[in-house]
Amino acid sequence: MIGEEVRNHFPILRRTVNGFPIVYMDSAATSLKPVEVIETLVRFYSAHDSNVWRSPHVLGAESTDAFERAREKVARFIGARPRDLVLVTSTTDGINRLAEMLARAKKSVMCTVMDHHSNMLPWRTRFRRFHLCRITSEGEIDVEDFEEKVKKADVVAFPMVSNVLGTVNDVRDLAERAKDRKKIVVVDGAQGVPHMPVNVSRLEVDALAFSGHKMLGPHGSGGLYISSELRDELKPVFSGGDSIKSVRLRGEDIEIEWMEPPHRFEAGTPSIANYVGLGTAVDFLSRYIDDCLNHERRVLRRLMEFLEDAKIRYLGPPLERRCGLVSIAVPEPDRVAYTLAKYGVCTRAGHHCANPLHDFFNVSATLRFSLYIYNTEREMDYAVTVLDQVLSRTKERAVRYVPPEFPSFIRQEVPCTSCPYRDLCNWDTVVAFCPYVPGFVRRRLSGRVTRHEVAEAVEERKAKG
């Protein structure tokens, strides 16, 4: 089981916002970075910085060795061989490269309504025929429609986990259905690889793309797994240094001899330090990955129970079929997210690069909470309390939820008349998180304390010095 000690590895969690601790619940956008990764980047640039494969001096050798060892670590993390892993800058980069290569020989593709734009637009803009698989009202792939649309496509693309719904798809089952019809299967692993054990050799997929920055690694790092069967059919999209063995002059032309994979797909100087940092991130994450999904569900359960009790609409399946992510349909999600942020609760509002999915559910935007290994149940208690205060003011109702042990780390003494957080209060009440009245909060779990009572408490405190 993942304990709170993991938080000690993330220095950014020591920050406060307006006197409140950072409660980071936006990991689907990007994860926080452990100190081990930060130190790896500093150490690389301080002691080993050089280009790879090009220089015979000691710095060049050390840089190349660190770079290739990182490839081996990342490949092992997803159950692949190093020669099957192309190092890319992001999931988006990997899918665009693959779509460009496949579009030279293939004509039709199928995606799903739940796909992120990055696993939809690269295919839609390059293939002549584009098919979209429906999803169910619970936010899961419609298997019957999947079977029907697969017949029409050369390439089948779908996400391992939806970045809006949190749906954890049965990748192996879907891949087998497509492979039975000899289709090329491409999986967007951006929200899956960071949160659960993955072994590509058992998934029956031809390609899998993922981002390093969502799995504790640096920005500008990621991977594209390509099976050996598919890899041999592909010609590089980019060419240049390091992608070729030789270029020879032949009259008024040149003769090109390509490098062996994966280097033939990695033209130019790579983001060396970022990939080395990703190797360190994988070392760190490997200690927790087996329990990661269960941990996220344990923490998310508290929010899900609140949403169901309050009859607040959320998108996607029940907790047992989702990862630690939920998107909720509330009025003015941007305003709610902004107000949460004033209390240190970091979420995201918008369409999350999935407009078609929001169109399907007939909502323009949602508020998303997305968790990771560093989130705790205590944090969720706090986040749910603040969320309830925001929604309470909108609906003109009293506080519904107060956790059994309200966080004791809130300490900020300002009079109500000048309180920068007054917008969260009902006009004639002080909500449960008011730092002036923790005693009232504990005694009155109904959540309503009048401003008159607060004024008395303030005067009493002043009198006592």
Q: Tell me the catalytic residues.
A: 353
Is 230 in contact with 175 (CB distance < 8 Å)?
no
What stretch of H or E contains 222? strand 222-226
Residue that has been written with the tokens 């936010």 in this structure: 139
Smallest CA-to-CA distance from 52 within 298, 267, 369, 199 is with 267
Place of tokens 């020591």: 14
**Angle (CA) 435 438 439, round 5°:** 150
Place of tokens 């929001």: 358
The H or E element that residue 452 is part of is: helix 451-464
Residue 464, CB-side half-sphere exposure with 13 Å CA sphere: 6
The DSSP code sequence of 285-313 is: HTTTHHHHHHHHHHHHHHHHHHHHHTT--
DSSP letter at 161 equals B
Q: Which two tokens stand for residue 402?
A: 């107060």
Other C-beta atoms within 10 Å of 224: how many?
Answer: 24
Q: Which helix (H) or strand (E) holds 225?
A: strand 222-226
Separation between Cα atoms, residue 220 and residue 222, nearest integer Å: 7
Per the CB < 8 A criterion, the answer to whether 276 and 44 are in contact is yes
> Longest Cα pair distance anywhere in the chain, in angstroms?
97
- Select from 188, 138, 186, 145 the least CA-distant residue to 163: 188
d(CA 295, CA 439): 32
Cβ burial, residue 453 (10 Å; 0-12/13-18/19+): middle
Q: Which residues contact 180 (CB under 8 A, 6 or more apart)?
A: none
Neighbours of 176 (CB within 10 A): 13
CA angle 263, 268, 273 (to 5 degrees): 85
State how far the Cα of 64 lies from the Cα of 221, in Å rounded to an integer.
16
Torsion sign, CA atoms 289, 295, 297, 303: negative
